Every structure is written in C-alpha cells, then in structure tokens.
Structure 1
Amino acid sequence: MRITTIQRNRLQNFGRFVMNIPLMLVILVPLLYTVSISVMPADEIYSNHIFPTSVNFVNYIQAFVNPYYNFLRMILNSFIVSTVVMLGQMVTCSLAAFAFSFLEFRGKKLLFISVLATMMVPGEVTIIANYLTMAQWGWLDSYRALIFPYLTSAMGIFLLRQYYLTFAKELYEAAKLDGCSNLRFLLSIVLPLSRPALGALGAYVFLNTWNQYMWPLLVTNSSSYRTVQIGISMLYDVDAQSLGLMMAGVVIVIVPSLSIFVFMNKQLINGLMAGAVKG
C-alpha cells in the first residue's frame, strides 16, 4: 500500500512525539514531585511517599502569612525589579543596536567588538567592583542597587543589532531623504517591526532578573527590598523540617517563569532566531 504525503507527515510527527516523551518526563517529573511535596502532609514527606494521601494547601497559606518574613513583599520586589530592568534593557539596547546597525562613525567596528568582548567576562569577576560602587554611592539596600547595574547588556545589543541588519538600508536612506530624524525612524519604523526580537529580549531579561540570587543577597539587608529567590531560602531557614513549605514557595516562584515560557514560546524562538543568518 502506497503511503501518501499526508500520512507520511503524520507518521513523522508521531515519531517525533514518541521520541520527545523521555525528555518530557525528565522535565516534568521533578516539577510534579515538587508540587506533590508542597501539598503533602508533613508526616508523609519523610516517609518515602510519592503522592500525598490527602491534599493540604496549608503550606501555601503559611508562605504568605508567616510572621518571620514578608514573602508577598519579596514577590512584589521581584516583579518591580524584573519589570524595570526589562524595560530599561529594551530601551538602551534598542538605541545602541540602532547606532551599530544604521549609523556610520569612526571606530564603530572596534567599539562593537569591545561590547561583545564583555560577554566573555563572568559576572563573578565584576560583582565586587559593582558592590563597592553601590556602597560608595550609598545605594545599598535599595531598588537602585538591584536595577542600575543591569540596565543594559551586550547580549541584548547583539540580538537587536542582528535583527536590525535584516532591514534594507534603502528604508533608512528613504526616511532620511524625507526629513525623518534618527529617533523618529527608530520609534516609528524600526521598533514596530522588531516586536519579535523585543519580545524575546524582554522575556529573557525578565526571567534572568527574576531568578537572580547572589546579587540581591549581597546588596540588600532588609525584607523591604529582598527578592523572592532569597525568600525561598528564608522559608527553609524558618523551620528546617518544613520541606513542604519551601517547596510551596518554589512552586509559587516558578509560576511566572512557566507562564512566560508557555505563552511566549513561539515568540521567544522566532525572536532569538531572527537575524541569525546575517552578520
């Protein structure tokens, strides 16, 4: 019996699905087990139970009402810091990428190479210098210390620059002949056409900032400015036996990350792949 093209495509899709099942299990099983522990009664956590005999949401309630810390405030701090850093990088990286893509000036290639070279410097190398700078400016234990060092990034500049290079130079030249300024050209033409790349950059920066631990722990001293990743460790410090409480905090924290991945998966892939074939 001859197999049609449609049947062949269906078989190939089914084969890919079957091959992805082991990978899906590797990713989902730890997540499901974390959720299981978070709703499991305390006496069952250390009794080798995989699934709870009864569902108990007391750990989620305690995560928000515990008097030793303000977990809800830490979640709000993470949202504020992640959102401001995301918007800041979208602005600064857009401006820098525009200059490297459309403008001509002396030392342009050397300056761009210098920007890319910073991507090879580990963050641990500069963390002490950044901390001393924040301390000298009197910005410790504030939103400014959490936000200011991350308002731009070489990765964001590179990503947007590669995307801008896909635009025809004639588009920019025609706009200049019509008297359009560089800023107006960026705001009216470039940015509206760059929504996939900007969306990918925004999601990437938001997740990176949301998951930061070392820098917020270093520059903050009070729960008024500490972020949610520090809050998770504090959940465990309150009661070393309350593993379920910490797992409930982990589930709460990963909800934004999973939401961004689920709802922006296609845009992330399209934005990161855009401009990959043109230098």
Structure 2
Amino acid sequence: MNRRRITPGSVLRWVWLTVVVVVVVFPVYVTVVTALLPEGDVAAGRLVPVPSRLTLDNVRAALDSAPLARQYLVSVGATAVQAGAQLVTAALAAYALVFPRWRGRGLAFALVLATLAFPGESLVIPNFETVSGLGLRDSLLGIVVPYLAAGYAVFLLRQAFLALPREVWEAARLDGCGELRALLHVVLPMARPQLITAAMWCALSAWNGYFWPLLITDSPQRRTIQVGLAQLVVDQATTPAVIYAGTLLVLLPTLLLVLFGQRFLVRGLAARVTT
C-alpha cells in the first residue's frame, strides 16, 4: 500500500492553511456566539466566548431598537433587483463582445475595462444629481438605478464565453437559433459555473453596499440593513451583545450564499481563462 510521504513542505502548507482557516473563521465564530449569549456573559469580556447558554433576546432587542426587519426587506429587494439586472446586462454584453463579428468590438471592450479604473466615489455626485432629478431619491429604485450594470461582471462573463468552443455556437446558428436563443440555450448552460460565480459576486456586492444607500435615502424605513446596523451601533453603544446580534443578521445571508454556492464558486474561479 502506497503511503503519502510527509515532507517539511507539506507540513508547512498544512500549518499555513490551518492559520488561514482560524483567521477567517474566528471572527465569524465570535460574532455568532456573542450574538446569542446573554448580556451578562458578554460583559465578562472573554477573548474566546464559550456558548454555555444561548438566547435570542439580543436578536429581539436589535429588531425592537431599530426598523431592522423593514430594512432587511429593503436590502433583499435591492440585492435581487441589482444583482439580477447586472447579470442580465453582463450576459448580453459579454455575448455581444465574443460571438458576433462586428467592427469596434475591441474598442467597446476597452471602454468596459475603462469603467473598472474609475473609483465609485468619483461618480457619487453625478449619480446623486441624476437620481434626484428623476425623483427617485429615498426609494428602492434610487438605490439600484446607478448599478444596473457592472463592468466586472461583463469582464468575468466575457472571459468565460471566450473559453467555450465556438463551433457549438456556430452549429446552433446554422440550425436556425437566433441570437437570444443561442445565448439562453447554448452559451449560458455551458458557462453555468462562471455564471453562478458572477451572480454571487453581483449579489454580495449589492448586499454589502453602504455609502450610496446612506446618501440617497433619508427615512430609516427606506434604508438598507447595512445603514441600519451603523445606526444600531450608535444607539446601542453600551450593549455590545445587541450590536453583535445586528451584525449576525447582516452576516447570515452572505454566509449562507457562500456555503451553498462554494462548489460553483471554486469551479468558476478555477476555470480556464483565455484572452
């Protein structure tokens, strides 16, 4: 029976991976456990909290002290609309940049890449003036309108489509498939791991947005959960367990998304990329 030989290099790799896992998992563990501990146990100030007694009182207190439930719905709606729109526009743009032959395709892709060079903060004032002029301030549409398309999602799907066999698309076109049908029934099924990776990136980016929702909304009921969490930190500065409970509410969707989509995420990021 062949046994894998243990070398100093493999030991160092395992030690390094263990350290990385601990560094990544430890803050999540502290957040989850502290959010469910009674306030008295949190006040003890342990570096590593021990889940001896668990309660949902902190979660209830966080929901009662701020309109987090309403803000949660706003965040879910904004994430669904923004991520869905970005995925649709990215798929259409990437398809147009890869399969049809047309003059100026390289220039169009260069313009898409150029959008990645501009920091988001530089576009805040024009976006604010535009959204306010459309009468969408302090609304769900006002939160998502400036972000209905994303250059990085276009880049990611373009690179994925480039790795697909062009002959399959040409065969579909010869069989009478239109452009939209070829995209939906031929291209996207073959690029499903990268499509799911792009969808996860769009969803996480939308969910974690903070500055723009804070700027474009005025009433607490129309703000996202991230803005509500910042206000919760101010209002509950003397009760850290309640703050951890609010943080847990924000953390759960992203944590579940990564856990259930990690298989597609790894396949999408590890896929061969061509230029």
TM-score by length of 2: 0.91
Residues 17-36 of structure 1 mapped to structure 2, 5 A cutoff: 17-36=14-33
Partner amino acid, structure 2, of 1:168 = P
| 1:120 and 2:117 correspond | yes
Query: What residue number does 2:144 align with?
Result: 147
Given candidates 240, 253, 264, the residue that maps to 1:267 is: 264
Q: What code does the residue aligned with 2:74 have?
A: N
Mapped pair 1:228 → 2:225? yes
**1:141 match: secondary structure:** coil
Structure 1 unaligned blocks of 5 or more: none
| C-alpha contact 2:78 2:144 (8 A) present in aligned 1 | yes
Distance 1:173 1:29 in 2: 50
Specify whether residues 54 and 184 from structure 1 end up closer, same or farther in structure 2 by C-alpha distance, changes over 3 A only. closer
| 8 Å contact kept, 1:165–1:275 | no
Alpha-carbon distance in structure 1 between the residues aligned to 2:37 and 2:166: 60
Deviation at 1:79, TM superposition (A): 0.9
Report if the CA contact (8 A) 1:159-1:272 is conserved: no
- Can you list the C-alpha shifts for 1:9-38, whole angstroms capped at 9, x where unaligned? 999987644431111221222222223432
| C-alpha separation in 1, matches of 2:8 and 2:37 | 41
Indicate whether 1:71 and 2:89 are aligned: no
Match of residue 131, structure 2, among 130, 134, 143: 134
Alignment correspondent of 1:215 = 212
Q: 1-side partners of 2:69 and 2:7: how far apart? A: 47
Specify the SS of the correspondent of 1:120: coil
Amino acid at match of 2:137: L
Distance in 2 (CA, whole Å) between partners of 1:182 and 1:258 is: 37
Q: Structure 2: which amino acid aligns with 1:70? A: P
Give the aligned residue type for 1:148.
V
Match of 2:93 among 93, 96, 101: 96
Aligned partner of 1:61 in structure 2 is: 60
Q: 1:62 offset after TM fit, Å?
A: 1.1
Map Cα deviations across residues 131-170 of structure 1 (whole Å, 9 max, x no partner).
1110111110111111111111111111111111122222
Q: Tell whether the 8 Å contact from 1:82 to 1:209 is kept in structure 2 after alignment.
A: yes
Matched length: 273
SS of the residue 1:167 aligns to: coil
Deviation at residue 275 of structure 1 after TM alignment: 3.9
Q: Describe the superposition over 1:219-260 as per-residue Cα deviations: whole angstroms up to 9, x where unpaired.
A: 111133211101111212223212211111101211111111
One-letter identity of the residue aligned with 2:77: I
What amino acid maps onto 2:261 in structure 1?
Answer: M
Report if aligned partners of 1:42, 1:242 keep a CA contact under 8 Å in 2.
Answer: yes
8 Å Cα contact 2:75-2:207 kept in structure 1: yes
Is 1:63–1:235's contact at 8 Å kept on the other side of the alignment? yes
Compare 95-104 and 215-224 and name the one that shifted more.
215-224
Pairwise CA RMSD: 2.3
Specify the code of the residue in structure 2 equivalent to 1:154: G
Aligned mate of 1:80, from 52, 77, 81: 77
- Greater shift in the superposed pair: 222-231 or 114-123: 222-231
Aligned identity (percent) is: 34
The alpha-carbon distance between structure 1 residues 10 and 94, as it changes in their structure 2 partners (threshold 3 A), is farther
The unaligned stretches of length 5 or more in structure 2 are: none
Query: Residues of 1 paired with 2:121 and 2:259: CA distance?
Result: 31
Measure how far apart 1:192 and its partner are: 1.6
> CA separation in 2, counterparts of 1:93 and 1:30?
34
Match of 1:107 in 2: 104
| Pairing 1:187–2:184 present | yes
CA 45–185 in structure 1, closer or farther in 2 if over 3 Å, else same: same
2:169 corresponding residue in structure 1: 172
Question: Scaled by the length of structure 1, what TM-score is found?
Answer: 0.89
1:245 corresponds to which of 238, 242, 245? 242
